[in-house]
Structure 1
């Protein structure tokens, strides 16, 4: 659709379906070539409609980050879902209800939690033991085999719990600043998972997932059975900054109207702030990068930075271009997952709005 975007009146998350489908196809192909089950994380897009683009590529196993999100996608026919977040005992009744209908997997890193779950559920529930390979967020440390095996024994003894394997998100790859550094960090995480798997006397499921690692690696070794990256579906300026993708891989931009302009310096104020972008920053302290819209989408060149934000305001410094009140600028997000969460719907280049989990709850 060719247009001048005159219908954009407020901050609007614009999605390029062609780019997103290309990103999906690349990762599906990579997982298939590596002989791994592809279990993409849907926490980035959170959309039934975008989920169908994965189905078009033959995807049948998915990962989510909350019970509510699992219910949302289960209602759209997804029958194999992993909730990649430490099990929240206060929602165990809803998890048990899901387990009565679909193949649901959860993450556990505590013996106490495992014991309580086994007493509270009445349906078979698959359990991944979460392993910390260096992100230091959640999970049992990879070098604590005694704790890992005690938790495994509890799961094996339970009537309703079924051991699904081990799971790790190497989130510390986001601190890397080059492809080579990502490769080193991701391979180290996989080596640590191999160390854990070696403790078991049988072959187990080993799920690994982070966008930087899954993007730069082609060889995941023999021990990894499943891959579950998420951000790759859209990518963003953080991934560009890390060095794992290019600007033309980014599948969404936040289109923001210009509301005022400075006369002394090339700074304009946008209708678009923290409630739309989040407060994620790049190393240069910017909250996003500016691209210009064209009749069929947006340009791939960066022409400015979003330097300051408040709740609704965004201050942009432009480089080599100008903008006036009433214009619309496209902002390449720092972290597309959070921007999508903030905006909770998408506008396609063809003028169609796509649904989002946040709008359904």
Structure 2
């Protein structure tokens, strides 16, 4: 494997399989699929979705929306509170594609009404329990007022209610995911029941990879917006969204030191490559799990080895006896990430397996 510095390896066959599974699930449930592209941030990976029949997507920034509009996507939801300092660019994008934005709180309504000229779809973000942002679903007066104001605005089209059950990331079993999803679903269904008579075209849009991966009850939901599922990671494994064999990215890292007295392996691969997202695992805190590499991919991780610390460029692996004995300085080992979205955002390109092609991502300068 021709790798000299930390490099993201992407198992294309696993990724294509995950895309196909989610497409088939949405189709079987009678829902649209609007996958979140913030995980892969790649026009090439987006083409894999296109080949599977996906025609609309979700992004997390205006910059990312511009990148994918330039790549030919013409139906995007920017699933982040509106940054009004970027309004001129939002308006420009709305002239080139169908753009949806989200209104996240009553306090933001005056600014939205003040800014005119852009034809936009508007989702109301509903707080279904994550408590990051969103309308309180019990605040019917505030919701009704916002909808009435939007309906009177000639440039805005109310699309429906959107939610992200981010608190599923605190779950550690599939049953817990299903329970949280059920609570979120109930909130969204009640809103649809209340507002559908006056707004018959409204849709329900729900996201979060754990619930999209595990839950089967999506009654009344019109579209799902999973993102991380395209690669998965150790957090999703811990949550119960997937198995470790479903993770389709890892960071190939050169081995630069070994210390036999404490069974540690030091790799060129630190916080600037993996991020410092961490995970509670078997009574300790880990920053990744090492895997043996070959030209076709990687083996399953052993249960006794893990990344115990990260500094800027260094990663320290607490190794099992077997791993320590077989890995030598100058070798490559892979690190399965705790959070694949963050790792990929830091690294900005992929080395495809098995053919070795390099796939680019949206650059920081885009």
Q: Would the TM-score normalized by the shorter structure come out above 0.5?
A: yes
| Structure 1, 315-324 or 90-99: larger mean CA deviation | 315-324
| Structure 1, 228-237 or 107-116: larger mean CA deviation | 107-116
Q: Distance in 2 between matches of 1:252 and 1:43?
A: 15
The answer to whether the aligner puts 1:337 opposite 2:338 as a matched pair is no
1:354 pairs with one of 346, 354, 359? 359
Q: Distance in 2 between matches of 1:60 and 1:95?
A: 20
Q: Distance in 1 between matches of 2:121 and 2:103?
A: 10
Q: Distance in 1 between matches of 2:278 and 2:107?
A: 37
CA offsets per residue over residues 310-359 of structure 1, 9 Å max, x none?
11111001122222210111001001000111111111111111111135
2:222 pairs with one of 200, 220, 225? 225
CA offsets per residue over residues 162-221 of structure 1, 9 Å max, x none?
101010010000000000000000111111111222221244211000100000012211
Deviation at 1:154, TM superposition (A): 1.5
Q: Distance in 2 between matches of 1:151 and 1:119?
A: 14
Q: Distance in 2 between matches of 1:37 and 1:189?
A: 18
Q: Distance in 2 between matches of 1:18 and 1:92?
A: 39
Residue in structure 1 matched with residue 82 of structure 2 by the alignment: 87
Q: Distance in 2 between matches of 1:198 and 1:315?
A: 53
Residue in structure 2 matched with residue 307 of structure 1 by the alignment: 308
Asked if structure 1 preserves the Cα contact closer than 8 Å seen for 2:289 and 2:301, the reply is: no
SS of 1:166's equivalent in the other structure is strand
The answer to whether the aligner puts 1:54 opposite 2:52 as a matched pair is no
Residue in structure 2 matched with residue 283 of structure 1 by the alignment: 280
Q: Distance in 2 between matches of 1:11 and 1:295?
A: 16
Structure 1 vs Structure 2 CA RMSD: 1.2
Asked if structure 2 preserves the Cα contact closer than 8 Å seen for 1:142 and 1:195, the reply is: no
Asked if structure 2 preserves the Cα contact closer than 8 Å seen for 1:255 and 1:330, the reply is: yes
Residue in structure 2 matched with residue 327 of structure 1 by the alignment: 331
1:240 pairs with one of 234, 237, 242? 237
CA offsets per residue over residues 114-157 of structure 1, 9 Å max, x none?
33233323131100000000000010122222211111111111
SS of 2:126's equivalent in the other structure is strand
The answer to whether the aligner puts 1:213 opposite 2:208 as a matched pair is no
Asked if structure 1 preserves the Cα contact closer than 8 Å seen for 2:105 and 2:133, the reply is: no
Asked if structure 1 preserves the Cα contact closer than 8 Å seen for 2:106 and 2:135, the reply is: no
For structure 2, which runs of at least 5 residues remain unmatched after alignment? none
SS of 1:173's equivalent in the other structure is helix
1:139 pairs with one of 134, 144, 147? 134
Q: Distance in 1 between matches of 2:356 and 2:139?
A: 52
Q: Distance in 2 between matches of 1:290 and 1:146?
A: 52
The number of equivalent residue pairs is 355
CA offsets per residue over residues 293-320 of structure 1, 9 Å max, x none?
1231111233510001111111001122
1:252 pairs with one of 231, 249, 253? 249
Q: Distance in 1 between matches of 2:204 and 2:235?
A: 27
Q: Distance in 2 between matches of 1:13 and 1:338?
A: 12
